Amino acid sequence: MKNVKRVILSNQANKEGYCTIYFEVSDSSKPNRSRKRISSDIKVKPKSWSKKKSLVLKSDPDFLIKNERLDEKLNEIVGVKPEVEKNNQSELINYLEQFIELRIALGRKRTSYKEFITIKNRMIQFEEFRLSQGLNRIRFQDLTLRFSDDLKMWMSSRKYDPNTIKKHFLTLKTFVNHYFNRRTEYPEIQFTDDYLKSEFGKVNTHSSPPLPLNDTEFSVLQDCDHLLVNKPSLMKVKDAFLFGCVTGLRYSDLFTISRANIREGLIIVSPSKTENTKSDNHCRIPLNLISQSILEKYNWNTRALKLSNQVYNRRLKELFQLLGFDDLIETKIYSGLGSPSVKVIPKYKLISSHNARDTFITMCIKKGIGIPLIMEMTGHTKYETMKKYVKLDDTDLLKLMGSFLNG
């Protein structure tokens, strides 16, 4: 009879601190209880491994999938064949792939369909979890309120931010709406209208407070070239962020500016975020000395500065740590759908690509530029949306009132 034990060898961790999970197999029916060790090819950090239960703990974001694969491997070792799914193709995921292919064929920008690639990957992962619980592959008719609850709890267990969970549900609804609105053309699909109910995907979200650079920090950023002479990658990051601070461009538009966008002293750009929702989708941003000098430096083409959002944000933190932006800020940290924790974090760790836009809008307010003009430059149509980017302290308010009273 085979006895199988799951173990890790903490003294054999790799450079990232991960250990391989092994199966120690002994056979009592053989002389001397012969023992061998079989690799599962699954890795885990020691702090995320329960020696007592021989399971991957919830502190590992992929604990559900890893434990499921361990069970499958165990079945193979002891000779138990898993039940074969009759329909090995997921209806929902197949149609998601078709939907993505359609958007690509229509010539849509990647920014308009990458969120559907993300939700497809989430559905694949969630489906693996469902199968481990003895449930079927995901069909349109499975999109019930119970499905919504299960998906929310699954994403929460993986410590997704509530805003991310809400965004995933909105993306899923957009995709389902496409086929629901064409249901007479897809008679093979059985729909439930539960996904249209307000409770489906209902999540309490939170707003992140704006984090603009103050006047001193902006000056430090503007005059830090001497610190970056031997750091060309950080020099480009600094130029990209500074360009965002003086134009208000989003990350998705920041690296698309060329001579074709410059007309009579204005940067004319059609924001990708609103290309399908606004009839007049143009922002008009006056060139200034800083934005013009950066464009000249890179031969009037900001594509030379382009980085992935992930790399850009990581290098921004490295840059602002170097510049000493270490004021402590009390911050709420969200991990899943539970109550947030409150931590005090240095400012450089919180700065991301979004904060250049915070800085631009806040600086415009402090300079006394009228709200309609700012909205013309940023592309906002509602003040309620724009004001989320503004952060003024008491000193700023006193200066504004002083300049108003003194003419």
Residues 10, 67 within the same domain = yes
Residues 288, 187 within the same domain = no
Q: Is residue 333, in this structure, part of any structural domain at all? A: yes
pLDDT digit string (tens) for 313-335?
A: 999 999 999 999 999 999 999 98
Residues 70, 175 within the same domain = no
Residues 53, 110 within the same domain = no
pLDDT for the residue 82? 38
Q: Is residue 68, in this structure, part of any structural domain at all? A: yes
Residues 70, 13 within the same domain = yes
Any idea of the CA torsion for 138, 139, 143, 148, to the nearest 10 degrees? 0
pLDDT for the residue 404? 52
Distance between CA atoms of residues 259 and 240, nearest Å: 17
Q: Is residue 344, in this structure, part of any structural domain at all? A: yes
Who's near 307: CB < 8 A, 6+ residues apart?
236, 237, 240, 315
Q: Is residue 83, in this structure, part of any structural domain at all? A: no
Full pLDDT tens readout for the chain, 407 residues: 457 788 888 888 888 889 999 888 876 565 555 678 888 888 999 998 888 778 888 888 888 778 777 877 776 776 543 333 334 557 899 999 989 988 887 667 777 788 999 999 999 999 999 998 888 899 999 999 999 999 999 999 999 999 999 999 999 999 999 999 999 888 889 999 899 999 999 999 988 889 999 999 999 999 999 999 999 999 999 999 999 999 999 998 999 999 999 999 999 998 887 765 666 678 899 999 999 999 999 999 999 999 998 999 999 999 999 999 999 999 999 989 999 999 999 999 999 999 999 999 999 988 888 889 998 898 888 878 788 878 766 565 556 555 554 55
pLDDT for the residue 80? 43
Residues 278, 372 within the same domain = yes
Q: Is residue 131, in this structure, part of any structural domain at all? A: yes
The CATH number for 226's domain is 1.10.443.10
| Residue that is written with structure tokens 């995921």 in the block | 93
Residues 263, 391 within the same domain = yes
Q: Is residue 115, in this structure, part of any structural domain at all? A: yes
Distance between CA atoms of residues 221 and 241, nearest Å: 9
pLDDT for the residue 86? 38
pLDDT digit string (tens) for 260-305?
A: 999 999 999 988 877 656 666 788 999 999 999 999 999 999 999 9
How many domains is the chain partitioned into structurally?
A: 3
Please say which residue of 52, 78, 104 terminates a domain: 78
User: In the numeric block, which tokens belong to residue 255?
Assistant: 């690296």
Residues 189, 220 within the same domain = no
User: In the numeric block, which tokens belong to residue 57?
Assistant: 């703990």
Please say which residue of 196, 229, 246 terminates a domain: 196
- The alpha-carbon radius of gyration of the chain (Å, integer) is 27
Q: Is residue 207, in this structure, part of any structural domain at all? A: no
| Residue that is written with structure tokens 């694969």 in the block | 69
In terms of residue numbers, what domain contains 391?
A: 215-405
Residues 136, 222 within the same domain = no
User: In the numeric block, which tokens belong to residue 59?
Assistant: 């502190």
Residues 176, 243 within the same domain = no
User: In the numeric block, which tokens belong to residue 190?
Assistant: 């059985």
- Reading phi first (left if > 0) and then psi (alpha if -120 to 50, else beta), residue 265 is in left
* CB contact at 8 A, 391 and 210: yes
Q: Is residue 50, in this structure, part of any structural domain at all? A: yes
pTM confidence score: 0.66
Q: How far apart are the first and last CA of the chain?
A: 92
Residues 318, 365 within the same domain = yes
Residues 168, 192 within the same domain = yes
Who's near 211: CB < 8 A, 6+ residues apart?
329, 347, 350, 351, 355, 358, 391
Q: Which of 287, 396, 307 minimizes the C-alpha distance to 352?
A: 307
pLDDT for the residue 303? 95
pLDDT for the residue 229? 92
pLDDT for the residue 10? 83
- Reading phi first (left if > 0) and then psi (alpha if -120 to 50, else beta), residue 82 is in beta
pLDDT digit string (tens) for 145-184?
A: 999 999 999 999 999 999 999 999 999 999 999 999 999 8
Four-residue CA torsion sign, 140, 142, 145, 149: negative
pLDDT for the residue 87? 44
